[in-house]
Amino acid sequence: MGTLITNGKVVTARETFIADVLVEGRAIAEVRAGIDPAGHTIVDAAGMLVLPGGIDVHTHLDMPFGGTTSADDYEWGTRAAAIGGTTTVIDFALQTIGKRMQEAYATWRKKAEGKACIDYALHMAVTDLGKDGAWIDDVDAMVREGITSFKIFMAYPGVLMVDDATIFELMQRTAQLGALVCVHAENGTVIDAIVHQALAAGKTGPLHHALTRPTVAEAEAVHRVVALSELAGAKVYIVHVSSEDAMREVEAARKRGLPVMGETCTQYLVLSIEDDMGKPGFEDAKYVFTPPLRERKNHAPLWEALRQDVLQVVSTDHCPFRFADQKTLGLGNFTKIPNGGPGVENRMQLIYHHGVNEGRMTLERFVEVTAEAPAKIFGMYPRKGVIAAGSDADLLIWDPQAEYTIEAVTQSMHTDYSIFEGFKVKGNVRQVFSRAELVVENGRFLGKVGRGEYLKRELGASV
Ligand SMILES: [Zn+2]
């Protein structure tokens, strides 16, 4: 018969209640108190929370960047995700300039094949719409493959950045289709000018990565892309909002009723320039990601934005590079440091601890920003992101009393450091079910490598 999770406190984005959860096949069959246990395998969840599996909508697994490749491939990255209580990731397929989106899609499916340990979906990072927009129909083709969100970069000129006209044309098409444009919002050309001035002045260390990317350059790009989306009648999602300045632009757009949504990432909520940078030698390179770490004063407004639904999601932008042989590519020139940090394993525990335990958000809001809202925005709801009859049985048995210290030596991510080294959290995942299969117990991955399935996403909702 099925698996019956008994006596736990079930949490959804709306309520918390004591109930049993019956799992049959790969889905949730029933959620109510007093389900007859006869014939079922029992999982006793007394004293535990039962949460929907986490959804991390922003990862970069096996991604080429700056002459190297992110350190976690699909096997390592998705195993680390599972161990941390994330049962779905949306990774970025990256279009090569001069090549079609179909090729990037095929390349990323191949990277995941036989390796993904949990279910995964893809965004398409668009770098080239062809001469005079000749390849715009690729957008329709991707939607048919279940890729219903398209990322563009307003940063990294000459590498990934697209111009405003390209953004606008992409948005006109996504608006017709009901698809979503996701935006890396930073004014790339102005930042490049500031970077060149810094290098010319001999400011070559990793701290200058942060100091050359001001928050106003992030806010300006959010403002501009909101205007473009308004012109095109498109909905838009701002990825990795890192500063109060940028968040206020999202807030202003939402106050005007525009379909503008946004995420922040774990690191922007708990790390800062003051606390984590300015270390001797090359240590700061571990914290070189984009947008960079900000001043500590940004933390409280970002938490409040999550609470107030100005921002809807917490993701990680997981893009790990080892210190010893990858970050050191930028010794003597911070622009050569691979941009990115490891985080997919620690999102649930850090947001639970610093959010729920420390009174910055309710338990229900925690579930909403880590699972339900991502599922809705990205077209996976109610298959994912909620504990309800008919949904995939992606479930966490969460021990609210468990104490855990984050350390590189015990992590599953393939980096030789943790950006959260020494962080102590209370509340951690005990068991993880992915489509009804027990895949993690007490920090050990029990599933079969390659069991993860590609998720063909529907069009998402505006929330
Ligand atoms: Zn990213």
Q: Is the peptide bond before 206 cis (omega within 30 degrees of 0)?
A: no
Backbone torsion region of residue 286, taken as left when φ is above 0, otherwise alpha when ψ lies between -120 and 50, otherwise beta: alpha
Mean pLDDT of 48-58: 98
What b-and-e string marks burial along 110-127, b requiring 16 or more CB atoms within 10 Å of the CB?
Answer: ebbeebbbbbbbbbbbbb
Domain residues of the chain, as ranges? 3-51+389-400+424-445, 53-377
Interval between CA 91 and ligand 1 midpoint (Å):
9
For residues 194 and 255, what is the distance between their CA atoms, to the nearest angstrom? 32
pLDDT of residue 302: 98
For residues 454 and 113, what is the distance between their CA atoms, to the nearest angstrom? 9
For residues 196 and 194, what is the distance between their CA atoms, to the nearest angstrom? 6
On the 0-12 / 13-18 / 19+ scale of CB atoms within 10 A, 390 is: exposed
pTM of the model: 0.98
- Identify the residue whose tokens are 């500590």: 296
Interval between CA 227 and ligand 1 midpoint (Å):
22
CATH topology of domain 53-377: TIM Barrel (3.20.20)
Phi and psi, residue 301, nearest 5°: -60, -35
Interval between CA 231 and ligand 1 midpoint (Å):
26
pLDDT reading at 1 higher than 90? no
Provide the mean pLDDT of the chain. 97
For residues 60 and 82, what is the distance between their CA atoms, to the nearest angstrom? 16
**Angle at the Cα of 222 (from 218 to 223), degrees rounded to 5?**
115
pLDDT of residue 66: 82
Architecture in CATH of 3-51+389-400+424-445? Roll (2.30)
Interval between CA 23 and ligand 1 midpoint (Å):
34
Interval between CA 7 and ligand 1 midpoint (Å):
39
On the 0-12 / 13-18 / 19+ scale of CB atoms within 10 A, 78 is: buried
pLDDT of residue 37: 96
Interval between CA 58 and ligand 1 midpoint (Å):
6
For residue 15, which amino acid is it? Answer: E
% of the chain beyond a pLDDT of 90: 99
% of the chain beyond a pLDDT of 70: 100
Interval between CA 108 and ligand 1 midpoint (Å):
15
CA 211 to chain centre: 24
Interval between CA 178 and ligand 1 midpoint (Å):
23
For residues 413 and 323, what is the distance between their CA atoms, to the nearest angstrom? 13
For residues 233 and 217, what is the distance between their CA atoms, to the nearest angstrom? 24
For residues 430 and 16, what is the distance between their CA atoms, to the nearest angstrom? 19
